[in-house]
Amino acid sequence: MIMQAKKFVLLQDLAPLMEAPVSAMRRRSSILRDRWATKMEFLLAVIGYAVDLGNIWRFPSVCYKHGGGAFLIPYLVMLLIGGLPMFYLELALGQFHRSGIGYGICFICTFIACFYNAIIAHAVYFIVISISQFEVPWSTCNNSWNTPRCTNTLNETLGKSGERLSTPSEDYEVLEIQSSSGFDDLGGVKPSMAVCLAFVFVVVYFALWKGPKSSGKMVWITATVPYVVLSILLIRGITLPGAARGIYYYLTPDFTRLNDPKVWSAAATQIFFSLGPGFGVLLALSSYNDFNNNCYRDAIITSTINCLTSFFSGFVIFSTLGYMSELTNKEINEVILNNELINPFVS
């Protein structure tokens, strides 16, 4: 007993000496590593990263495909048992090690930029055309590129479109992206889309080139503007005839769908797609925090806002689907062909 007591006292005496190098290393890392100017910049950066098309587009699409309100239950369960723990783990690791994953994140982002920036370039192209022209070309079927399959959604009141395409779908395939037949047919370069894609890459570069000093200022725009746009679309959507029908479909759960394992699988996929763990971005963002920052609270706040954004986006999309259902005289689950939701706002 005496020997054990002596060992315990010795360890107590050595503890400050053992902690001193670690504390010095932490202080040196904090001095060398850039920091976020304010806590709000970090929160907005995480929200801006997590809130993307996975919330605004993919979540309503998956929700529509798997029974509307019934999908919200497995979605919340997967958030609690899978998404939130991994989200918190990445924030904690980045904050503890005060570093990202180096070349690994460059490798990951290279592949992500290949398709994500292309999607944003499509959005930029639509914005430019919408602003620069009095009548957008995809609003009618009177253009030279339209085929006999083109139909104006506003005139499709009998719901007998069969295999015909709505105007936005056809224009997106023929006019905007000119999709090829496969990998062996690369097709040509559309100059307008190439300019939009180059513009997106330039914006991304200048948003990140000075680390948190530049991205911390950019997130005040990129993380808040989507909520302004969603609010405008929601106000417009709920004032349209038939909007209540779509919202009712969204909020009314069909509990029989919970017996389908595909619904739970889709919920797990969606929660990871939405929160974005595993890409290394959360590691990099949290590495600019102070070592003693409460990252658990940050994980709760940002993941909650992320999921509430998905829920909010559902109202925006389903109110518009209710309007489309009113126009076409179809049920909500029959508005979109093949049960695959495209963006209804190009209509």
Confidence of residue 164 (pLDDT cuts 50, 70, 90): very low
Query: For residue 229, how far is the Cα from the chain centroid?
Result: 15
The DSSP string of 268-298 is: HHHHHHHH-TTSSHHHHHHTTS-TT--HHHH
Q: Which residues are annotated as a binding site for Na(+)?
A: 48, 50-51, 55, 274, 306
CA-nearest of 158, 322, 328, 154 to 242 is: 322
User: pLDDT digits over 102-122, tens only?
Assistant: 777 778 878 888 888 888 888
Is-contact 138 168, C-beta < 8 A?
A: yes
Q: Chain-wide mean pLDDT for the chain? A: 77
Cα–Cα distance for residue pair 228/59, rounded to 1 Å = 19
Is-contact 93 277, C-beta < 8 A?
A: no
Please check the confidence at residue 145 and state whether its pLDDT lies above 70.
no
Tell me the three-class secondary structure of 136-165, residue by residue.
CHHHCCCCCCCCCCEECHHHCCCCCCCCCE
Mean pLDDT of 150-162: 49
Query: Which is more confidently placed, 205 or 2?
Result: 205
Please check the confidence at residue 81 and state whether its pLDDT lies above 80.
yes
Cα–Cα distance for residue pair 63/321, rounded to 1 Å = 13
Spatial neighbors of 182 by CB under 8 A, at least 6 apart, are none
Please check the confidence at residue 6 and state whether its pLDDT lies above 60.
no
Among 39-48, 147-156, 221-230, 246-255, where is mean pLDDT lowest?
147-156
Query: Which is more confidently placed, 84 or 192?
Result: 84
Confidence of residue 208 (pLDDT cuts 50, 70, 90): confident
Query: Which is more confidently placed, 189 or 310?
Result: 310
Give just the sign of the alpha carbon dihedral 83, 84, 89, 90: positive
Q: How far is CA 41 from CA 45, 48, 202, in A?
A: 6, 10, 22
Q: How far is CA 109 from CA 106, 116, 215, 270, in A?
A: 5, 10, 16, 20
- pLDDT for the residue numbered 162: 43
- pLDDT for the residue numbered 238: 92
- pLDDT for the residue numbered 264: 92
- pLDDT for the residue numbered 338: 52
Please check the confidence at residue 155 and state whether its pLDDT lies above 60.
no
| Burial class of residue 335 (count of CB atoms within 10 Å of its CB; 0-12, 13-18, 19+) | buried
Cα–Cα distance for residue pair 162/147, rounded to 1 Å = 15
101 three-state secondary structure: coil
Query: Which is more confidently placed, 330 or 232?
Result: 232
- pLDDT for the residue numbered 146: 64
Mean pLDDT of 285-296: 88
Please check the confidence at residue 12 and state whether its pLDDT lies above 80.
no
Please check the confidence at residue 300 and state whether its pLDDT lies above 60.
yes
Confidence of residue 7 (pLDDT cuts 50, 70, 90): very low
Confidence of residue 345 (pLDDT cuts 50, 70, 90): very low
At residue 172's C-alpha, the angle toward residues 114 and 190, to 5°, is 60
Confidence of residue 297 (pLDDT cuts 50, 70, 90): very high
Both structure tokens of 238: 């709920």
Query: Which is more confidently placed, 241 or 327?
Result: 241
Domain boundaries, the chain: 35-346
- pLDDT for the residue numbered 236: 92
Q: Which residues of 49-80 are buried (b: 16+ CB within 10 A; e: fewer)?
A: bbbbbbbbbbbbbbbbbbbbbbbbbbbebbbe
Among 14-28, 71-85, 125-139, 256-270, where is mean pLDDT lowest?
14-28
Q: Which residues are annotated as a binding site?
A: 48, 50-51, 55, 274, 306
Is-contact 64 343, C-beta < 8 A?
A: no
Cα–Cα distance for residue pair 110/55, rounded to 1 Å = 22
